[in-house]
Every structure is written in structure tokens, then in C-alpha cells.
Amino acid sequence: MELLFLGTGAGMPSKQRNTTSIVVNLVEERGTYWLIDCGEATQHQLLYTSLKPRRIEKIFITHMHGDHIYGLPGLLGSRSFLGGTEKLTVYGPRGIEEYIRLSLKLSRTHLTYPLEIIEIEPGVVFEDTEFRVLTERLDHVIPCYGFRIEQNDQPGTLLMEKVRELHVPRGPLLGRLKAGEDIVLEDGRVVKSGDVTSQPKPGFTVTVLGDTRFTESSIALAKEADIVVHEATFDDTGKKMAQDYGHSTFRQAAQVANEAQAKHLIVTHISARFTNENEPSLLAELKESGCPSFIASDFMHYKLLRDGSIESFTTSPK
């Protein structure tokens, strides 16, 4: 699993940061991408990557402020022009369906794929055999949500030496054992899956929080997550403004990660008032997280490795 930040700015685009959008790259897990928020010019940012809009399977919208949704109509239309035929589902707060349907209607945009729009409430908003996505209300100036993406535990790998010792023939029986099913051989012997497979590997958990003041809901969604993405629009000097406008400071994001016992913290939605020169002092405010912490920038990738660590790199075209 990999996160790619297409936009990391707050409010409106700047020369350094586009408005909010994050790709959850699940190509290895399910052959698709998920998108969280779709600020203005998200599809422009995608042009500088190797990602194909037609492979976007789901879009999760945290709230209805423009810097999180103004890129939706253009991206949905372009997905048709670029050969998209697979179903796309958009999840978001009340009003997201009216916004999308009206935008497409008035612009006479025809889609070549089925579009499903789900207006969410707190709880489980998606679940299948691989993933579960939960959401909770946060504390912003309008209804806003955070998302917790949980991957189910992964089956153990076959221990081929033990398989050979038991003379299990190659073919479908191996697949059934790997899937956790006990089998019966032609000679009547029962081979238990647990005897010939390694222990299941825990799935990953990623939490992405929309704009919010410090709130217990953030901590609940972030509990023991492998990665927490938290907005940090202000530093300590702007604590009052953060409270007034429904945002968080860097230190408050670190507090959420710390209390949730998260393994990694990435902050985004950064005010344009901050430049690269401010980064050392901002990173100092993140130290309270108690975990490795990063300040996201446009086109930064964060890949969650099998050992639980993060590999970060940039493909910035700028």
C-alpha cells in the first residue's frame, strides 16, 4: 500500500501546494486506486504521475468545502474520455450527490461508466472480503468526516517443504490449503491448512482525517493505525485561529497520533504562510507524536513496507 499526495495545501492553491487530494494506491492489493478528496486541479496533478484515472475505483470526500471537491466534475468527465468503463463509487457527506449530479447535468457531461454516490453516516461505509472502511464525524465548521481503512488479515504462505513431505499434489488442493481450508487426499489422509501454512499476516490500517479541531473522534479512528494522515493548518502561534476556523495545529496532530498509539504520522493541509524555511520548527512540534512523523508535500509517496516501516520518495515534476 502506498499513499501519494497530489495536493497538500489549505484553502486555495499556492505555487508550492495544490488543494487537497490523496491517492491510496492499492494496485498490489486489488488492482485499483482509491482517492480521498478531490480539490481543484486534481486531474492536472494526475497528469504528472503514471496513474490512470480509469483505475480509480472509489473516491471518499471528507466534507463539502471547495478545496476538497472542486476537482470532482472534471475528473469524473475525464475518466470517461480516458476509457473508463468500470463502476466508480463516491462516498461523501449529505449534499455530495446533488453537487455531482447537478454539475454533470448542467455541463451535459456524459459518463461511460456506472456512477454510484453514497451519502455517508458514521459507521461502516464499505466492506468486502479484503477491506473495511469506517467513518466518524469530526469537529469542523461544517459536517466533516474521517476515514479508517482496514485491510483484513492476509492468509499465511504455504510451507512447501511440509507440503512435499505430505505428498500433496500440485493443483487446486494447494490453493485450498493456502486459503485456510483443510483437504482430504485420495488415500484418505486429512491435511490441515494450519499445519502447512505460516501464521496469517495482520492487514494494515490507514486513517485519513478531514479538516478538524482536536477531537476524541480522531483518536478513535486513528487507534493503533499504521499511518495517520492529519491536517495541520496552523502552528502553535495560530492556535486560536485553528480553534475559530475548525482546524488543528501541528502539535494537536501529534497529540492525536500519540494518544492513538499510531505507528506513523503524516500531516497535510498546510497553510501557504509556511515555507521550507519553517520546516525545522514545524517538525519540532510533531515530536510529541512519539512516532516517525512527516510533513507531506505535493507528489510525495509514502510506501508501507512489509516490516511496518515507511519508505518515502518524491516524483515531483516541479
C-alpha cell at 177: 490449503
Least Cα distance to 296 among 280, 309, 312 occurs for 312
User: ∠88-91-96 over CA atoms, to 5°?
Assistant: 105
Indicate the DSSP class of residue 108: T
CA distance 240 to 236: 9
Indicate the DSSP class of residue 4: E
Q: Is 67 among the residues known to form the active site? A: yes
Q: Considering the candidates 37, 67, 226, 298, report the single residue annotated as catalytic.
A: 67
The string of DSSP codes covering 29-97 is: HHSEEEEE---TTHHHHHTTSS--GGGEEEEE-----HHHHTTHHHHHHHHHHTT--S-EEEEESTTHH
**What is the torsional sign of CA 192, 193, 194, 196?**
positive
CA distance 80 to 312: 32
CA distance 243 to 251: 13
Residue with cell 478528496: 37
Burial 261-277 (b: 16+ CB within 10 A, else e): ebbbbbbbbbbeebeee
Dihedral (Cα; 219, 222, 224, 225), 10-degree rounding? -170
Catalytic residues: 67
